[in-house]
């Protein structure tokens, strides 16, 4: 066990471990093998970046834009209509078309700004203790839904009540 720990890791390191060949260290340069990533022909992993989000290349631009938070189906179609652009696959678009799409998308409130805006609105509702704010604090739906049977998304998993038995039939 001790011998295996004392052995050099690579043959090039044996020069460092042996102290009697100091002049060899000054003349020789140490090189370590660098692992190269395998290259596959015909595989490209480039994604178009719009609004700070990498949108998929293999889908039409109308559906690719919907990967951006704040752009849904209607707004994606509206962007294409405003630019008078046809709904091509993203990888077939030229760089000029992508630049015009980036400029148009930057006119809308998307991603971080939109998330921050919504979080501030909810925080304001909680601070003024209105009905909707109280429902947010309690983790219950605030748009009038019934809560006897549903709303499991907000309430979480069911919790069994000890001592409660089902009524006999």
Per-residue pLDDT of 8-19, as tens digits, reads 555 544 444 454
Instruction: Yes or no: say if 126 and 136 are a contact pair by the CB < 8 Å rule.
Output: yes
Measured CA distances, 125 to 14, 128, 139, 153 (Å): 69, 5, 13, 21
pTM of the model: 0.60
Residue 34 and residue 37: Cα distance in Å, rounded?
Answer: 10
pLDDT tens-digit map of 108-143: 999 889 999 999 999 999 999 999 999 999 989 999
- ∠ CA 25-30-31, rounded to 5°: 170
Of 65, 58, 63, the residue nearest 100 (C-alpha)? 65
């Amino acid at each position: 066990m001790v011998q295996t720990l004392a052995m050099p890791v690579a043959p090039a390191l044996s020069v460092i471990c042996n102290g009697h060949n100091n002049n060899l260290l000054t003349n020789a340069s140490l090189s370590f093998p660098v692992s190269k990533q395998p290259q596959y022909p015909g595989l490209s992993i480039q994604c178009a970046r719009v609004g700070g989000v990498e949108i998929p290349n293999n889908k039409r631009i109308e559906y690719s834009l919907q990967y951006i938070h704040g752009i849904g189906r209607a707004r994606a179609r509206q962007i294409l209509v405003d630019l008078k652009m046809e709904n091509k696959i993203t990888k077939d678009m030229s760089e000029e078309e992508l630049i015009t799409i980036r400029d148009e998308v930057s006119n809308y409130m998307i991603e971080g700004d939109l998330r921050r805006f919504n979080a501030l609105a909810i925080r304001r509702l909680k601070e003024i203790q209105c009905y909707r704010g109280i429902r947010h604090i309690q983790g219950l739906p605030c748009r009038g839904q019934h809560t006897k049977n549903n709303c499991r998304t907000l309430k979480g998993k069911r919790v069994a009540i000890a001592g409660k038995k089902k009524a006999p039939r």
